[in-house]
Chain A
Amino acid sequence: MNKHVSAAAALLVALVALAVLPSGAQTPPAKPAGPPQALLKVFLDWPGADIGFFRAEIPFVEFVPVLGEALVRALVTPQGPPGNESFAVEFSGLKEFQGDDNTLTYAPAPGDKPEDVSKGLAGLIKIGLMRYVAKTPAAKFVSVNFQDLVKPTSVVDKWDFWVFNLSASSFLMGETQYKDSSYYGSFSASRVTPELKIRTSVYGNLSKSWFDFGDDIYESSSHGYGFSGLVVKSLGKHWSAGAFLSVESSTYSNLKFSVTAAPAVEYNLFPYSESTKRQFRVLYRIGYTGTRYNEETVYFKTTESLLRESLSFAYEVKRPWGMASLNLVGSNYIHDFSKNRIELGGEVSFRVWRGLSFEVGGSYAKIRDQIALPRGGASYEEVLLRQRQLATGYQYSFSVGLNFTFGSTRSNVVNPRFGNGGQSISISM
């Protein structure tokens, strides 16, 4: 039975090979048997070349016998002494590819056998033809692969991967009865390699608003500044260890000055190298925070120093059907376990059927740790403008969306006349 199957398979392979190589031997080109596939027509300008070999090696183009039929001309010029020559391949686009020209050279390694040289040359011709093939229907069935795993740090870098960034920006807006302005500045220094990640930055921001109610004017301002630092050491494919360090001052959170140092460890169920496709990270962190408040808190404190621990789970997957993510974070203060919070969030975007996609997302937080709330509370205007953190036991959000598209599948036309439905600008801080 097994033998039969393998014999049938061998026959099938032979048939496929015959079908793919219609003129495998150096016979005059036979008429294409199947339906006329829109393959790129190439004229190989190299008298005496083994055209059958190149037909077999490069099946995604059609080698034509005369220049007049071709869309691309590949002129091969051997250079140097025979037996040890290198090859210049000059690609010229014709007709609709007029002007798309390029020249590549192939230099075989000393001691390469003639068949290795032919293979290598065919490989280079494939690479040179790719820009034209990409514009034909055959592109769908072509794949480009790199055979090696290479370290991203294999470069000559005199800065040793340190990157520094200085930025500043301002945003002002207003109308007759309303004005708003904000300013932001930061400096960061970071060094990211696969073994070690260092990120540090100092920042500051200031925002002001102004309302005119006719007989009454309301003004407000808020600001924040701080430092944040992160160091992470890689410990194999699944483990990492590191520390967070931050200094913060914020009117929104009632913090005059707050310093936090928190060592942490992380475990990823999947190798980190797959992280753009899937990751499931578990992070434990324990941190010490010393704080001086702007206003006395609801617990009658103006300064305090506390230990706090947190555990978080983050799952994320991105696949052809869509993507999903789930986050769970729990934290508590060590001096009083009843001061804690749990946050759960998730998001799924899913293609149900060809034109139908579905999105749902949500989050819920149970909050029992607002130890920094000021005793004085917030004013009516501060509440409406959301300028102060307010007392709450929970926070939630939920969103759902559905999109169904049907109709023409040949709708790749771009027609920019009268605009494309407006432009959008998004500003994120």
Chain B
Amino acid sequence: MRRHLGIIFVLALSFSSLAAALSQDQPSIDELKKTAVKVYLDCDSCDVEYIKTEITFVNYVRDRLEAQVHILITTQTTGGGGREYTLNFMGQNDLKGTNDIQKYFSTTTDTSDDIRRGLVKALKMGLLSYVGKTPIARRITVAYLPPDKAGPGRDHWNFWVFSLTGSGYFSGEKSYKDQNADFSFSANRVTPATKVRLGLSLDTSKTKYDIEDEIVTGTKSSWDGSGLFVKSLGEHWSAGVFLEAGSSLYSNIDLGLSAAPALEYNAFPYSQSTRRQLRFLYKLTVNPVKYREETIYGKTRETLFQESLSATLDLREKWGTVSVSASGSHYFHDFSKNQLDLFGIINLNLYKGLSVFVLYGRSWIHDQLSLLGREPTFEEQLLRLRELPRTSDYFVSIGFQFTFGSIFTNVINPRFGSSGSGGMSIHIN
């Protein structure tokens, strides 16, 4: 027994001296982590907890100015209906000047696990340019497993992508029931030179209230078919046609058709569109329409001509997001039948944990040609089942957020659930 103890003692002693020797030559991993690159992850649509669990060789901070690398991730829809993730790596503070852009593409039917794994891989590969400058880099290995045979076949679909979607939603309790169903089909062909989008969608919903044995039912239904053809004319100009056919109970339209040739100018090159756009779109529309019930102007059918102009500015920068647009339109048979819309959203990451946002929208409406000739019922008004006369509408939202304290956000602790702390948040796609 005593001998055993002695051996253990000697072993322990030699281990501790070994550990001491190791720590003298090479700093421990916890020491290396302290000097790891500080990263600010600027992404609305990422599974952040997963990223932090999978990539542990950097430190995550909650303020962009504290970071050595600011990673801004923006997304755009691809021709196949998937997403293009653009990862902008921007070196800051002592790593200023080292910049990189990586991309990751997802498809429509990628599962959320496919997407988060793909993003983690793109993040790791991009991060190594910075991690290579810190001592923790020597603990990272790169492995390569080439395939036996590579090279996908030809694309015999010639860039056409088709998609069918159907969904239903039902909910209820004793005095309230709600049923919704929708179906859509789309066929798209997107190349850098031309864009064709064809779509068909159907929507229906029914809400039932039981109030003191009286049953109030609200129904909404609509269908819509649309087509868009666009031809690219250089880095700044595009020309195309919008086509549409549809029906809507809410808007009192039995059948509306429209065809609109259009021209667009982008002040920034289209190749920068994920970060900045300033687009002007002019549209000339011819619109034959048949109403469900006689309108307030005594019409049951008519053919309308309309022109519209819109301007949109979208910016996505380190310091925040700006999206502002204005559009105006009028009918040719009566210039006083017109509409003007303004919309703006500004979200700024100001200084050291302070961020503010403003959301604003306002419309001046003088072109409700499809309004019901009769007075809507009380339920139609309260449940907003029918379009009501109005001359303007608006919404405004203002908020701020100030965070202070620890800058590190490395820790994930899933115990008792990861519930949010409340508050209001806004996401723009």
Contact = CB atoms under 8 A, between A and B. Distances in A.
A425 B111 contact: no
A161 to B, nearest CB: 5
A142 B166 contact: no
A326 interface: no
Nearest to A146: B57
B82 A411 contact: yes
Q: Which of B113, B155, B409, B428 has the most CB of A within 10 A?
A: B113
Contacts of B57: 146, 150
Nearest to A312: B417
A128 B132 contact: yes
Given A60-B144, A147-B139, A403-B165, A420 B158 contact: no
Chain B interface residue bracket vs A: 35 or more
Contacts of B303: none
Contacts of B378: 213
A230 B100 CA distance: 41
Given A35-B150, A159-B405, A165-B402, A153 B161 contact: no
A186 B422 contact: yes
Contact of A175 (B270, B393, B396): B393
A165 to B, nearest CB: 5
B165 A401 contact: yes
A371 interface: no
Nearest to A134: B125
Interface stretch (A43-51, A63-71, A316-324): A316-324
A71 to B, nearest CB: 15
Interface string B53-94: 101110100100000000000001111111010000000000
A267 to B, nearest CB: 11
A418 B240 contact: yes
A211 to B, nearest CB: 7
B399 A170 contact: yes
A162 interface: yes
Given A201-B422, A420-B77, A137 B167 contact: no
A426 interface: yes
Nearest to A235: B415
B161 A408 contact: yes
A77 interface: no
Nearest to A386: B176
A26 interface: no
A143 B309 CA distance: 50
Contacts of A234: 413, 415
A416 B399 contact: no
A413 B421 contact: no
Contact of B396 (A109, A162, A172, A404): A172
A341 interface: no
Interface stretch (B8-16, B248-256, B287-295, B383-391): B383-391
A423 B426 CA distance: 13
A275 B417 CA distance: 10
Contact of B238 (A102, A145, A242, A418): A418
Given A412-B79, A412-B80, A416-B76, A164 B405 contact: yes
Nearest to B106: A412
A155 interface: yes
Interface in B95-137: 98, 100, 102, 105, 107-109, 111-114, 117, 121-122, 124-126, 128-129, 131-133, 137
A124 B131 CA distance: 10
Nearest to A161: B406
Contacts of B158: 408
Interface string A16-28: 0000100000000
B171 interface: yes
Interface string A331-368: 00000000000000000010100111101000000000
A145 B109 contact: no
B415 A145 contact: no
A213 B383 CA distance: 13
Given A153-B410, A176-B392, A399-B167, A167 B400 contact: yes
Given A175-B393, A273-B53, A381-B382, 11 more contacts: A104-B137, A120-B138, A147-B139, A152-B410, A156-B34, A169-B398, A169-B400, A402-B165, A402-B166, A412-B84, A418-B228
9 contacts: A154-B33, A177-B381, A240-B416, A276-B49, A398-B170, A400-B167, A408-B158, A409-B152, A427-B426
6 nearest A-B residue pairs (beta carbon): A169-B399, A411-B80, A401-B167, A175-B393, A152-B410, A397-B171
